[in-house]
Amino acid sequence: MKIVNYPHPSLRYPAVPVTHIDARLQTFAREMYDLMFEHRGLGLAAPQVGIPFQMIVLNLSGDPEKKDTVEAFLSSVFINPTILDRKGTIEDEEGCLSFPGLYQKVRRAKNVRVQAYNLKGEALEITANDLPSRAWQHEIDHLHGVLFIDKMGPVGKLASRTALKDFERDYAKAQEKGEIPADTEILKELAALAATA
């Protein structure tokens, strides 16, 4: 498993709701959890690793010491998350593991109330403020093919143009070299995987 960079089609592919929690899903979650820490991310969504399922991992404890406990893992995985309620707005710097090195200001709701399921299939309701609220919104956007570049203001979009062109050029080069399959092939694989959620 590895993190795909923009403009990989998985990032725009709408993720399907998870309908059953099995060993495969738990393995995906564990690998995503480890990747998130490896890359020092605050969160990671399944489409960022080429899996079109509605699942995210979040690292909101800020305590890497606790990373390896089962409790830390289980409390970091969220299935089929949806935002129930948003309040206020706040603008702050944001980045994404699928856009390494790109940071821009993005306006988000200051507070969110979220509903999700954990890996045990238990329903959760979570209230988050400020940075955790931002992380929830960013990761849930990923499940709908929405990226932080879509949420930037006009200044941020303009300032990101060169970086995006560079990502697009690197991606095209990797495809030319055969390191990444053709988009049509990737889309076929995504559809096949989505049918097994």
- Angle, alpha carbons 180-182-187 (nearest 5°): 105
Would you say 58 or 96 has its CB closer to Co ion?
96
Stretch that binds Co ion, among 95-103, 149-157, 158-166, 186-194 (CB under 5 A): 95-103
Query: With b meaning 16 or more CB within 10 Å and e meaning fewer, what string describes 53-74?
Result: bbbbbbbeeeeeeeeeeeebbe
Among 4, 11, 96, 116, binds Co ion (CB under 5 A): 96
Would you say 96 or 114 has its CB closer to Co ion?
96
Residue 2 amino acid letter: K
Which residue sits closest to Co ion, CB atoms considered? 96
Q: Which of residues 48-77 bind Co ion (CB under 5 A)?
A: none
Q: What are phi and psi of 66, to 5 degrees?
A: -90, 0
List C-alpha distances in Å: 54 to 73, 158, 194: 17, 31, 10
CB of 147 to Co ion, least distance (A): 7
CB of 69 to Co ion, least distance (A): 25
CB of 66 to Co ion, least distance (A): 23
Which residues neighbour 19 within 8 Å (Cβ) at sequence distance 6 or greater? 197
Return the residue matching tokens 């941020």.
156
Spot the catalytic one: 38, 94, 122, 139: 139
Stretch that binds Co ion, among 31-39, 61-69, 92-100, 182-190 (CB under 5 A): 92-100
Identify whether 139 is a catalytic site residue: yes
Stretch that binds Co ion, among 20-28, 83-91, 93-101, 105-113 (CB under 5 A): 93-101
Would you say 16 or 94 has its CB closer to Co ion?
94
CB of 15 to Co ion, least distance (A): 13
Q: What are phi and psi of 56, to 5 degrees?
A: -135, 160
- DSSP letter (8 states) at residue 184: H
Regarding 15 and contact with Co ion (CB under 5 A), the answer is no
Which residues neighbour 182 within 8 Å (Cβ) at sequence distance 6 or greater? 175
The count of chain residues that interact with Co ion, using the rule CB under 5 A, is: 1
**Residues of this chain that bind Co ion (CB under 5 A):** 96
| Positions marked catalytic | 139
